[in-house]
């Protein structure tokens, strides 16, 4: 695949079509078959065990925001990508920190304490890491890069949606993206806006015990629209969403209307999209509701054989197609 750009654009890191085109154009030719699947992580078989490995770098701006910070994000990001593959038992994490000269040590202490607290929540431990410092102006503050290794008793992929499946979401959408945006621009809206950043492995373990999950993905950069478009394209199925069923907090609803930003196109850091057989949906939904992070879980749509690769939104008054953009409308979101 030839690349239409000769310079990197912000959209190339924004989780949508531009990013996938860059990856496909640069990294997939001759790549390992597991990498070519472009999942949330990769399965490495060791003996009769399915280990899952995933890597993530975190560049969020600002580094502290309502509901979380860069330290918490750096743990939850990898724990959630492992969980999306079915690896709810986290075996080990690595943490690399790149710092700009002059970065306040007190802020670094806060980020580290927050990362440790998130590890406790996820029953995860950091077993090795690395620290580098770059000169003033050579980096914007701090970057955290994390690798995760987990064990999957049953591997789940993001390409497994089947016609007839029901689509569940584990809670409200848009919270992380809008909370970070409001804080970054000092919009004075952030009173009720809080990031949802949280480790999902405990919640997903309950869901996996309650039914057979056909497909799973966390709607991070690019939000629900990017994640579901990718799932629909990979499985060559259509997805019809019911707009009234999609859970949104009142604060997200108000802020997104005010700012003209679609809450379905911005990042979440503590939510999962799950495709299940309709016979299992009630049991899985009940399991999600039994966990503190799944209180607002809901069935939001169904999977069809028609319209392969397309995402349709039934508003209750009509049906329209949701088109994925180049990527998340906000850079530096996670
Ligand atoms: Mg993911």
Q: What is the pLDDT of residues 102-122, one digit of tens each?
A: 999 999 999 999 999 999 999
Q: Which CATH superfamily is domain 166-321 in?
A: PurM-like C-terminal domain (3.90.650.10)
44-65: pLDDT as tens digits: 999 999 999 999 999 999 999 9
pLDDT of 172 > 60? The answer is: yes
Cβ count within 10 A of residue 202: 18
CA 6 / ligand 1 centre spacing (Å): 27
pLDDT of 4 > 80? The answer is: no
Give domain limits for the chain: 10-152, 166-321
Q: What is the pTM of this model?
A: 0.95
- Residues with C-beta atoms within 5 A of ion ligand 1: 40, 81, 218
186-235: pLDDT as tens digits: 887 656 899 999 999 999 999 999 999 999 999 999 999 999 999 999 99
- Per-residue pLDDT at 295: 98
Give the 3-state secondary structure of the chain.
CCCCCCCCCHHHHCCCHHHHHHHHHHHCCCCCHHHHCCCCCEEEEECCEEEEEEEEEECCCCCEECCEEHHHHHHHHHHHHHHHCCCCEEEEEEEEEEEECCCCHHHHHHHHHHHHHHHHHHCCCEEEEEEEEECCCCCCCEEEEEEEEEEECCCCECCCCCCCCEEEECCCCCHHHHHHHHHHCCCCCCCCCCCCCCCCHHHHHHHHHHCCEEEEECCCCCHHHHHHHHHHHHHCCEEEEEHHHCCCCHHHHHHHHHHCCCHHHCCCCCCCEEEECCCCHHHHHHHHHCCHHHCCCEEEEEEECCCCCCEEEECCCCEEECCCCCCCCCCCCC
CA 302 / ligand 1 centre spacing (Å): 21
Handedness of CA 265, 269, 275, 279 (dihedral sign): negative
- Per-residue pLDDT at 20: 86
CA 114 / ligand 1 centre spacing (Å): 21
pLDDT of 40 > 80? The answer is: yes
Q: Which CATH superfamily is domain 10-152 in?
A: PurM-like, N-terminal domain (3.30.1330.10)
Average pLDDT, the chain: 94
279-322: pLDDT as tens digits: 999 999 999 999 999 999 999 999 999 999 999 999 999 999 99
- Per-residue pLDDT at 156: 98
CA 135 / ligand 1 centre spacing (Å): 32
CA 83 / ligand 1 centre spacing (Å): 9
Query: pLDDT-based confidence at 330, cuts 50/70/90?
Result: confident
pLDDT of 2 > 60? The answer is: no
CA 40 / ligand 1 centre spacing (Å): 4
CA 81 / ligand 1 centre spacing (Å): 5
Query: pLDDT-based confidence at 6, cuts 50/70/90?
Result: confident
């Amino acid at each position: 695949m030839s690349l239409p750009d000769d310079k990197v654009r912000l959209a190339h890191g924004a989780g949508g079509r531009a990013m996938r085109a860059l990856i496909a154009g640069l990294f997939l030719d001759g790549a390992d078959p597991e990498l070519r699947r472009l999942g949330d992580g990769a399965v490495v078989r060791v003996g009769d065990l399915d280990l899952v490995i995933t890597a993530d770098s975190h560049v969020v701006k600002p580094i502290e925001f309502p509901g979380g910070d860069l330290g918490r994000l750096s743990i939850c990001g990898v724990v959630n990508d492992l969980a999306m593959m079915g690896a709810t038992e986290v075996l080990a994490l690595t943490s690399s920190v790149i710092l700009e000269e002059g970065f306040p040590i007190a802020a670094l202490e806060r980020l580290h304490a927050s990362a440790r607290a998130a590890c406790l929540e996820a029953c995860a431990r950091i077993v090795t890491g690395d620290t580098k410092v770059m000169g003033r102006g050579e980096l914007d503050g701090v970057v955290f890069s994390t690798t995760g290794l987990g064990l999957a008793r049953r591997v789940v992929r993001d390409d497994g949606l089947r016609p007839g499946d029901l689509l569940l979401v584990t809670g409200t959408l848009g919270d992380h993206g809008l909370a970070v945006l409001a804080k970054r621009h000092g919009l004075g809206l952030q009173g009720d806006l809080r990031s949802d950043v949280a480790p999902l492995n405990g919640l997903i373990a309950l869901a996996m015990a309650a039914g057979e999950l056909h497909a799973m993905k966390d709607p991070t950069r690019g939000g629900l629209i990017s994640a579901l478009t990718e799932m629909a394209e990979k499985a060559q199925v259509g997805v019809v969403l019911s707009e009234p069923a999609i859970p949104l907090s009142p604060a997200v609803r108000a802020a997104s209307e005010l700012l003209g930003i679609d809450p379905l196109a911005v990042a979440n850091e503590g939510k999962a999209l799950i495709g299940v057989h309709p016979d299992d949906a009630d049991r899985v939904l009940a399991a999600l509701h039994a966990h503190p992070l799944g209180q607002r879980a809901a069935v939001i749509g169904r999977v069809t054989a028609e319209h392969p690769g397309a995402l349709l939104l039934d508003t209750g008054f009509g049906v329209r197609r949701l088109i994925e953009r180049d990527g998340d409308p906000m850079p530096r979101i996670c």
